[in-house]
Amino acid sequence: MRFDNPAKENPIDRLKVVGQPVDRIDGPDKTTGHARYAYEHHEEVPGAAYGYVIGAGIAKGRIVSMELDAARRAPGVLTIVTAQNAGKLGKGDFNTARLLGGPEIEHYHQAIALVVAETFEQARAAAQLVRVRYARERGRFDLARERGNAALATGEKKPESAVGDFDKAFAAAPVQLDATYTTPDQSHAMMEPHASIARWQGDRLTLWTSNQMVNWSRGDVARTLGIPRENVRLISPYVGGGFGAKLFVRADALLAALGARAAGRPVKVALQRPLIANNTTHRPATIQRIRIGAGSDGRITAIAHESWSGDLPGGSPETAVQQTRLLYAGANRYTALRLATLDLPEGNAMRAPGEAPGMMALEIAIDEIAEKLGLDPVEFRIRNDTQVDPEQHGRPFSQRRLVECLRLGAERFGWQARSARPRSQREGQWWIGTGVAAAFRNNLVMASAARVRLDGQGRVTVETDMTDIGTGSYTVIAQTAAEMLGVPLHQVAVRLGDSDFPVSAGSGGQWGANSATSGVYAACVRLREELGRRHGFDASTAVFDNGQIRAGGRTLALGEAAGEGGIVAEDGIVFGKLDKAYQQSTFGAHFVEVGVDVATAEVRVRRMLAVCAAGRILNPKSARSQVIGAMTMGVGAALMEELAVDKRLGFFVNHDLAGYEVPVHADIPHQEVIFLDETDPLSSPMKAKGVGELGICGVGAAVANAIYHATGVRVRDYPITLDKLLAGMPMVA
């Protein structure tokens, strides 16, 4: 099915099941332990051996020698895989060539060997016996130092943009801001580590793995191992968090496959927690310069946003300026992405890549220029709203309700009672402050397909390689099929995460729910049409409801219509050019209240509110969970999350959850989420978008703005830790 001419109404619009806050259908399996994650497929793969990954002990250089004899003689050891005996590895689309290092080493903890043994303990003990000698080379580990060597990120589709004459307009602006902000490297720190089990049957590989994008990764595994794509099967029914780190094949999957081939039996591999920070991908640090010029009327006349980030040779930048190209009006504009070469672990997608760190800077800058103008920060944002893409004049937004989000949020949060003057409210030992930030994330759509089975009892089974990374994919897919075929939710079974199933959008970029359910919608339309052909009715006018089909004055039981052998239909959604004719984005507003201890500068987040405009909300309960989780990550980014770089030796020092701090329950207050009642018929037949990443965009800046309002201290270098605040706070009794 091609989606490029949206109808005004379709069966989804009944909203009997879709749009309802139903419980997750996979909840019972998860809470009782029946949901099996990548490392837990014991029944399907009995007798698997265990692999233990050895990571490089240097950040840049080469292996001079690797002594393996003692490890090979250790109890239980079956084989040891290294670059020397792994055979020639091909290059996949997502840096799989870097997954097994040697003799050249590109970053710290790059995998250099896999020890395979009968038990995990034996593999771990044997790995300690491997002796590696390195020739260390001088590396580049400091983004600030390499900033001058950075160049435009030419690998990007649009590394630079310019509209009007920014320099002239900025110089002429009566009110100006020129400020630099920094965000640190951050780790995904998901609950389930990267883990895989590999089994070979002849020349065919089955890989149970924790992965967000089954189809992408199936292709990468095949290309890397040099085997036909059809000889690879990936299975990933449950993923215990990914946040972008599991968009791609990582060392656990490749080494499990190589280890299983070498050992002649199934092998399971889970990356140790320290290797998740240094071996896999992370959100890269940024340095961002923002310049804004405004007239005395409070309207932006010039805006520029430049970002510097770093990555390994051939890598990509953190796209931190994308939202600035779309969020606010202004006739004269300039943005640029610059990339430095660093010898740190690979920087890549992490929840809301680009917008999350970009808005941490932009939305502080917006508050700063508003203060210079003497304008309320909510009013300043509203005054500079635009209903068309400011860089492509005339291209409208399909939906843009940012102003409504800001106004409703301000009313609900009690913003009108706020004093404009910083450090003006104190409660005992606490300075109290409130902050706001806009939320923005583009709406992306991807082709997605599904297979739908209807049996003689009226039961429905949906199959697609879509993954559920804790976001509720199982449930919204079941809701879609139930709505389209007119059956209760309990009569729908959903099977996900298997490359034998039709190819879906996968989970990432907040495109998953909208795209995958649209694929299920298309398959259900096909099934309805097939039933119409069998029984002589017009499927486009038939009503599927309460387990029955009503058409042409007849009523058929759904199971009876399917027949004893049942019926199967398969189809998918392919999106046309609507996203080119219209700018499709999601919008929101974040409001935060903090308390800051007058003596210690301890920060306590006291209240949080998010207002989101993101198309039809398919399941308000799971959508709210997505948003409050994202808001929590935003608090972490603002106050504590930082991978500390050893700039001498080139590695992330705090590479475990003892040193890498994330928010806990005590750090997070009650969070309120409001979804505007919105449908976007230009986005998909579901009229939905996504909220999984919108919820993090802007939160960090809202926290930072609240801290400034509480203390009068402006910190532009994240995270906002006690030392940075104390340096600027006055001594107060």
Sign of the alpha-carbon torsion through 508, 514, 519, 524? positive
**Partners of residue 602 on adjacent β-strands:** none
Tokens 């029984």 identify what position? 535
- Whether the CB-CB separation of 631 and 453 falls below 8 Å is answered with no
Spatial distance between the Cα atoms of 408 and 405, rounded to a whole number of angstroms = 5
DSSP state letter for 22: P
CA geometry: angle 366, 370, 372, nearest 5 deg: 120
CA geometry: angle 610, 322, 593, nearest 5 deg: 25
Give 312: exposed, middle or buried? Use CB within 10 Å, 0-12, 13-18, 19+.
middle
Nearest alpha carbon to residue 225 among 194, 249, 195: 249
Please state, in angstroms and as integers, the Cα–Cα distance from residue 153 to each residue in 71, 84, 146, 197, 674, following that order: 44, 34, 14, 37, 38
Using DSSP, state whether 644 is helix, strand or coil. coil
> Is residue 346 annotated as a catalytic residue, yes or no?
no
Marked catalytic residue, from 363, 368, 570, 693: 693
Using DSSP, state whether 119 is helix, strand or coil. coil
DSSP characters over 607-618: EEEEEEE-BB-S
Spatial distance between the Cα atoms of 61 and 98, rounded to a whole number of angstroms = 14
**Partners of residue 484 on adjacent β-strands:** none
Beta-strand relationship, 111-117 and 77-82? antiparallel
Please state, in angstroms and as integers, the Cα–Cα distance from residue 421 to each residue in 424, 657, 710, following that order: 6, 38, 9
Beta-strand relationship, 460-463 and 448-454? antiparallel
Nearest-10 crossing angle of helices 473-485, 512-535: 30
Nearest alpha carbon to residue 620 among 694, 696, 676: 676
**Partners of residue 543 on adjacent β-strands:** 550
Using DSSP, state whether 591 is helix, strand or coil. strand
Tokens 């602006």 identify what position? 173
- Classify 372 in phi/psi space as left (phi over 0), alpha (psi -120 to 50) or beta: alpha
**Ramachandran angles phi, psi of 379, nearest 5°:** -60, -40
Spatial distance between the Cα atoms of 732 and 431, rounded to a whole number of angstroms = 11
- Whether the CB-CB separation of 265 and 48 falls below 8 Å is answered with yes
SS (H, E, C) 390-418: CCCCCCEECCCCHHHHHHHHHHHHCHHHC
Cis preceding-peptide flag for 284 (omega within 30 of 0): no
SS (H, E, C) 249-308: CCHHHHHHHHHHHHHCCCEEEECCHHHHHHHCCEECCEEEEEEEEECCCCCEEEEEEEEE
Spatial distance between the Cα atoms of 364 and 437, rounded to a whole number of angstroms = 8
Tokens 């099967």 identify what position? 233
Q: Say which amino acid occupies 251.
A: A
Beta-strand relationship, 49-55 and 585-597? unpaired
Using DSSP, state whether 435 is helix, strand or coil. strand
**Partners of residue 714 on adjacent β-strands:** none
Tokens 């709505």 identify what position? 483
Q: Say which amino acid occupies 502.
A: P
Annotated catalytic residues are: 693
